[in-house]
Amino acid sequence: MIVLGIDSSCDDTAAAVVADGRTTLSSVVHSQIPLHRPHGGVVPELASREHLRNIGPVVRESLKRAEVSLEKIEGIAVTVGPGLIGSLLVGLYYAKAVSYCRDIPIVGVNHLEGHILSIFLEDSAPEFPFVAMTVSGGHTNIYLVKGFGEYEQLAHTVDDAAGEAFDKAAKLMGLGYPGGWAIESLAREGSTDSIRFPRPMLSSESSDFSFSGLKTALALYYRKWKDTEDKQGNLTMADIAASFQEAVVDVLAGKLASAVRMTCVKAVAVAGGVACNNRLRTRLTEQMGHEGVRVFFPRAAYCTDNGAMIAVAGFHRLIKGERADLGIDVRSRYPID
């Protein structure tokens, strides 16, 4: 089955053509980073307008690169949540129009399910059951994945997501947007143990995450450091970035390790934009390796928002006979079921 996947959940307009839920024939993403960079984050209204301008060209380009016409598309998968309502509506209404005009079955997909299943776009993928951590600007969750469409949430963030914490930290330090890349780049030049930032909820019995306290600790430290002439023992901005990043990585690695021990799985998958972070990848690979657990990471292009992962999730729902009618709507909050 050849599926067209469409994602417009936040600030990337994405479309892809995927065969049989495994083979990417094309994947096209129009990034809005230059548009939102001056604002230090995503502006919802601007994002929606940009999606309107780009959804048609992006879908057409994905079909062109795949060398597939709409007549050969056997299903359409489109993100219906979670995400920004205005952005989601653009992708959904476009998908509805194509579905209606071409009589192609359509199915709504949870964006987080797409991230979980993005690992199946790679040649090597984990066997069920496995634990998946989705970590991005909007979400930090852990799931027990029992099969396609079978997910049990084990943990979530009670406030800021990890990616949001990186973005806010970078904005505070004047490093620009997107924050994750800026913090990681600067952190390479610093020492990870220069400052002992808190590790929120790491010692708690709860499996959930919290990053707002860490963000506040950074803000207080940075302002004090900036106002001190000797910069507190010659500590640099790179030291602050490295120490902050290490605190985030410690929390993510610690909570994931707890989930693995609780479920006794032998494989984990880590996806979402923050999964591109090289320090996180190195730490998890080493730590899980010591416990006999294999770690799977999608390539960077499949960690960030893309249409291919939505096509994979949609494929497995379509082959089970799921279909959506034209009354399907978007949801800003959308727990996986």
The domain segmentation of the chain, as residue ranges, is: 2-117+302-318, 125-297
Radius of gyration of the chain (CA): 20
% of residues, the chain, pLDDT over 70: 98
pLDDT at 202: 82
Quick one: angle between helices 179-187 and 278-290, nearest 10? 70
Res. 79: pLDDT tops 60: yes
Instruction: Assign 229 a pLDDT band (cuts: 50, 70, 90).
Output: low
pLDDT at 233: 64
Least confident range from 3-12, 17-26, 219-228, 267-276: namely 219-228
Res. 50: pLDDT tops 70: yes
pLDDT at 183: 97
CATH level 2 (architecture), domain 2-117+302-318: 2-Layer Sandwich (3.30)
pTM, two decimal places: 0.95
3-class secondary-structure state, position 125: coil
User: 295, 282 in Cβ contact below 8 A?
Assistant: no
Instruction: Assign 72 a pLDDT band (cuts: 50, 70, 90).
Output: very high
pLDDT at 100: 97
% of residues, the chain, pLDDT over 90: 91
Please state the length of the chain.
337
For the chain, the average pLDDT equals: 95
Res. 173: pLDDT tops 90: yes
* Topology match between the domains 2-117+302-318 and 125-297: yes
Alpha helices (runs of H) in the chain, residue ranges in sequence order: 33-36, 44-66, 85-102, 111-117, 162-172, 179-187, 212-226, 231-234, 237-263, 278-290, 300-303, 307-318
CATH 3.10.25.10 fits 125-297, yes or no: no
